[in-house]
Copies of this chain bind each other. A is one copy, B any other.
Amino acid sequence: MNLRVVLVSPRNPLNIGAAARAMSNFGCLDLRLVNAYDVAYREAKSAVNASQVLQGAREYATVAQAVADCALVVGTTSIGHRALEHPLRRLELGGRAIARKMASAPVALLFGSEKFGLSNDDMSHCHWLMRIPTRAEHESMNLGQAVAVCLYEIARNPAAAKAKPEVTVEARGEDMERITQLMKEILEHCEYIHERTGESMYLKVRRQLRRTHMTAQDANLWLGMLRKIKWKLLS
């Protein structure tokens, strides 16, 4: 993934570790740190389960150096209190723009410190800003979770949303009819279907069974269960 995640002034080793894990989950392996609280960084890096991403992370003295090789620099923000001097895009839109750009050139995605976010100085290195669509009453996300959500959107495949759920083999009509017949015999024997209501109740059962949209596998299971019940009832 032609993307560099840049954490600016992160303070909590757990967050640095969480960001690295989310990056690994979504195949983004280039982590950069600017002005990381030294103890936090060393602690995260020495954690027993520190990921490859974290081990390979690089430190930079300034944002300018961290994004020097990038053609597009995007900052993240939860906005709120300060007026932004930058174009602001929602993640749904910004994620698409980043994914497109990544096809031809490296992109940097900046995350600010847990407490203050990106400073105006950090933001002045950005072409535009991106915001995760959280609700107004609780805008600010946890750092590791924000990284995960952004990378998910960037890695997201829009075509998958339109895909057929899964390939299933529908039960054949003859199996459904066999199930319906077995059910009928059982229900007649139990006097659930009887002479007076017979036909209409039978049709109700048949319609219900058709609405279940059974797969061939489901139909086999039902045939087995119903045969056993019938055998027990009629023997």
Which A residues are closer than 8 A to B by beta carbons? 14, 18, 21-22, 24-27, 51, 87-93, 95-97, 128, 132-135, 137-142, 144-146, 148-149, 152-153, 155-158, 160-163, 165-166, 168
Contacts and interface: CB of A to CB of B under 8 A. Distances in A.
A142 to B, nearest CB: 6
Contacts of A24: 135, 137-138
Contact of A133 (B18, B97, B144, B156): B156
Count copies of this chain in the complex: 2
Given A22-B145, A26-B134, A142-B144, 7 more contacts: A25-B145, A87-B166, A92-B157, A128-B165, A144-B145, A145-B148, A149-B152
A67 B138 CA distance: 27
A93 B165 contact: yes
CB-based closest 3 A-B pairs: A145-B148, A92-B160, A92-B161
B145 A92 contact: no
Contacts of A89: 165-166
